[in-house]
Structure 1
């Protein structure tokens, strides 16, 4: 689920600075997208493997583990990885290497703190399987965050091959370990989650060897102090977007049961290609929208085209998924298919709303309306929690899915209303006074 559910919200655009080469910047954007696609698809692939082999409740436990790791990983990208890519892509190697030690040290510190919180939460949660799975995630978080940060260090240095190799080797090892555990009939989530996390730790060690650096915990505080202007904004935007969605999933699971989380995530697994397309398009078009703003070009047409094209693409993919025969669904996801089928249609509408909102979201960010975006994100976060829980209480997991879709729809319509209002005002503002 990492960076796929709700993808595109809170994207930090990489605007070109004076004297910055455009081609290297675009190349880094492409490699960043490729890396995120690989990491996201590897998690989804593992989810299919686990879904076919365990019961519905156990898959719900696996879903909670994914939510916890995905939330922390997204927070680390907002506070460390994306900031490093923006700030240190075009500096001399000596400066970049020192910053890499600080950034990876910050990732270790964040992993230790959040990992400790996960372990403490594991001791308080009911259910042995859930507690042990969360405990395993807590142990793995430092390694997971470091190996992710190291891939961004390679990309920023213009060395995408090691970054991609690190992601590919980690994905391959995770499939191997989890596949062996599943084949050995380990239906408990603890060994499966622990094996997945152990691979992340080993991959982090391999990344440190390839980069020839050790994370510096002593300089982690310096990283957060010097980059506070980006880390605070990025983490706030992330918590209000994906963070709120993850929390809504967990609360829905508390109301309806762990099987509800498994059903919601099983449905999302089939929609990953649409999420990937929306995420990639948003990352690649961010700098283009920035350029159009600097040139004083109107953004209504590109925003409309972007939103409509992505929404239609998502709708076509979703329509194809909804007609998948039950036999195929059961073959792919085992006993979790029935739960996924119950929430598949609302999930399709949700990804369509996400695609529709991408156009005005990119345009508002490029035009410097970050405050408006955060206000919309706060509104949508409250709606996700409120409507999701209300739907779960009234109509179970399908009601929860309908509540989440309603929140996404209101968020998308609000974004469009604000964008149309601001674009109308911008026509009366001199180009020189518009700050991207």
Structure 2
């Protein structure tokens, strides 16, 4: 039985990592493919629109996805099924709200927001698809999440190939392909999970999970606002072309690490949650140490590859070759993010959401200050090194908060929590 259980866990972990690699590849490709087809100034507006889409995904994930991993993973099938239905309806409602805000920003905002109109129709589907991934991950069925993501990516790739093949070369091509893939991924999730997007209790979900979602949402808002602040600051103090150079370096070195970060976190958090719920402090420590060794080794890869960034860009994308000058600080930031993953998953598993918020405040303030000083003093290179310094300060804060939470770890009665929530 132990061997059978171990084999299932191994297959589940492999499916989970494969799912995240597929999702990560799609996210990276959405931005990377913009670069060779559009000039830097045009690409900047499209990349900004894509970042707004991921901003919406990030906020919805805090209210739905992260809560499913942290909260629903501790419950049985019946409770998880009810929570999945409520979470799906909540994600769809958040998507409709995001669509409305995107249209308002497009109609009344500055010119660089004009690409948002192509994003708006698809946000409810993209957010519902993302919620579906977390429904499957919380139920420890990453294989089903993988199927939904393969559907998303496959349809997106076909639509993009057809539109580019027909000669279309503007932002609408990339944004519409991204959105149509979201529609297909949503359909795959709803059919396999047998969930109706119109059922579920939105108010019930908010009421039951507000002790987690409120802090996770504030943390996500802060984190997403920080991302938008970086893009806006770089664009405002330097130029749209500078944002394209920054994103070129990030797509190659930082984004793979961020996607691996999400992959490891989505696999670690449910396990940390079960260990923390049982009050197994020693188990949490063992799992964290194993994960930390793996993530640190992975983080050394972008640092080792950073000297090759400039020469490779000079051959592949010569108009972005300047991005090689900021490859090293971006790679070090990727290493810091990966080292931080096990600590973040442990805090989520222990449901220390206030600690996560405190860490984000420290990180955002430190990075904002270092970014402004670096940009004013040394332009884009200063901005990249400033972001790295802020990330390092955030890592130190995360470790301190984890150690404090771990010392206070105690068993949690999930039956009492569920009854109280209802």
Under TM normalisation by the shorter chain, which class is it? 0.7 to 0.9
**Partner residue, 2:218:** 236
Aligned ranges for residues 3-82 of structure 1 at < 5 Å? 31-82=15-66
Residue 313 of structure 1 and its aligned partner are, at CA, apart by: 3.2
**Partner residue, 2:94:** 110
- Structure 1, residues 185-224: CA drift from partner, whole Å, max 9, x if none? 4332123312322332343244434444321278323322
- Structure 1, residues 345-403: CA drift from partner, whole Å, max 9, x if none? 11011112223334554555666754344222111112233332333333332222122
- Does residue 403 (structure 1) correspond to residue 386 (structure 2)? The answer is yes
SS at match of 2:201: helix
Higher relative contact order (CA 8 A, sep 6+): 1
Structure 2 CA distance, aligned partners of 1:162 and 1:357?
A: 28
**Partner residue, 1:14:** none
Q: Which structure features the higher share of helix residues? A: 2
Instruction: Report the CA distance shift for 1:149/1:22 in structure 2 as closer, same or farther (over 3 A).
Output: farther
Counterpart selection for 1:343 from 326, 331, 340: 326
- Does residue 101 (structure 1) correspond to residue 85 (structure 2)? The answer is yes
Structure 1 CA distance, aligned partners of 2:342 and 2:187?
A: 40
**Partner residue, 2:130:** 148
- Does residue 164 (structure 1) correspond to residue 164 (structure 2)? The answer is no
**Partner residue, 2:295:** 310
Residue 25 of structure 1 and its aligned partner are, at CA, apart by: 8.5
Residue range with higher mean Cα deviation, 170-179 or 336-345? 336-345
Aligned ranges for residues 270-289 of structure 1 at < 5 Å? 270-271=252-253, 272-286=255-269, 287=271
**Partner residue, 1:263:** 245
**Partner residue, 2:116:** 134
Question: How many residues matched?
Answer: 404
TM-score, normalisation: structure 2 = 0.81
Residue 314 of structure 1 and its aligned partner are, at CA, apart by: 1.6
Counterpart selection for 1:121 from 105, 115, 121: 105
Structure 1 CA distance, aligned partners of 2:290 and 2:145?
A: 33
**Partner residue, 1:227:** 209
Residue 239 of structure 1 and its aligned partner are, at CA, apart by: 2.6
Paired residues of 2:306 and 2:328 also in contact (CA < 8 A): no
Structure 2 CA distance, aligned partners of 1:281 and 1:359?
A: 8
Residue 145 of structure 1 and its aligned partner are, at CA, apart by: 0.8
SS at match of 1:297: helix
Structure 1 CA distance, aligned partners of 2:114 and 2:370?
A: 30
- Gaps of at least 5 residues in structure 1 are 1-20
Counterpart selection for 1:192 from 158, 174, 182: 174
Structure 2 CA distance, aligned partners of 1:360 and 1:146?
A: 28
Structure 1 CA distance, aligned partners of 2:96 and 2:348?
A: 33
Paired residues of 2:88 and 2:200 also in contact (CA < 8 A): no
Paired residues of 1:367 and 1:435 also in contact (CA < 8 A): no
Counterpart selection for 1:388 from 364, 371, 374: 371
**Partner residue, 1:5:** none
TM-score, normalisation: structure 1 = 0.78
Instruction: Report the CA distance shift for 1:295/1:151 in structure 2 as closer, same or farther (over 3 A).
Output: closer
Residue 255 of structure 1 and its aligned partner are, at CA, apart by: 2.7
Instruction: Report the CA distance shift for 1:240/1:30 in structure 2 as closer, same or farther (over 3 A).
Output: farther
